[in-house]
Amino acid sequence: MIKKHYLNGVFQGKVKHYCGMLTAMEKSLVDQDILLFFDGLEGDECADKKNHGGPDRALHQYPQEHYSYWRKKYDLGVNWQEPGMGENLSSTGMTEDNVCIGDRYRWGEAIIEVSQPRSPCFKLNKQWGVENFSVHMQEISRCGWLYRVIQPGVVNVNLPLELIERVPNAITVKQACDIYFGSPLEVNGLLKLKAQQRLADSWMKKVIQRIETGKVENWNFRLLGHA
């Protein structure tokens, strides 16, 4: 069961004015031991605590290989590289196609668990200067994913993520994205998401709400920054 994945980088950042917004998206490399708490890496901050951060969103991981896609898609002459998506963890070989909701990894002294895909937001549009960048990311499910911390402890970029547990009915992060964003009212898909007991509470509540009401919540503010 144990499969080791080595990281390309670990990043943390402080809230500041950046690209015309108050954000902690601009992060710096951490190349030494750092404490991981239930709410994230020591010293890592979050500007919008309502929509970001918290126990189910303690860490964000983004695949490094996606940057080559964005570089080709938007030939802007900018430096498309980590941690440009505001990620805490950068990896190669771990993608939305092979990471599953509920996967548990041992990382140094800590244990972390995949809780949900990352929900793209309008701050990415400002970060890259690309209108509707968040919409495109959502449409193709190259969103990265978030973790909750099961066991805090000392971690380090040189220590691997070791897959120690996968739930029997696991679905991949991409499958979760495709259902939640791509077919948001398809009942069978929603029932698959509802069966994911380790899915983040915020996503689970919306899944149940969609099943009960047949309606999808408004995404405009999250994706575009306006109603």
Residues 6+ apart with CB under 8 A from 109: 151, 152, 153, 154, 155
Is 146 in contact with 58 (CB distance < 8 Å)?
yes
Q: Encoding tokens for residue 135?
A: 């919409």
Per-residue model confidence (pLDDT) at position 226: 85
Per-residue model confidence (pLDDT) at position 30: 97
Q: pLDDT tens per residue, the chain (227 residues)? A: 568 999 999 999 999 888 888 888 889 999 999 999 999 999 999 877 677 789 999 999 999 999 999 999 997 778 899 999 999 999 999 999 999 999 999 999 999 999 999 999 999 999 999 999 999 999 999 999 999 999 999 999 999 999 999 999 999 999 999 999 999 999 999 999 999 999 999 999 999 999 999 999 999 999 999 87
Per-residue model confidence (pLDDT) at position 2: 63
Domain boundaries, the chain: 4-224
Per-residue model confidence (pLDDT) at position 179: 98
Distance of CA 38 to the CA centre of its chain: 16
CA gap 134, 153 in Å, rounded: 33
The CATH code for residues 4-224 is 2.40.33.20
Per-residue model confidence (pLDDT) at position 57: 97
CA gap 203, 120 in Å, rounded: 14
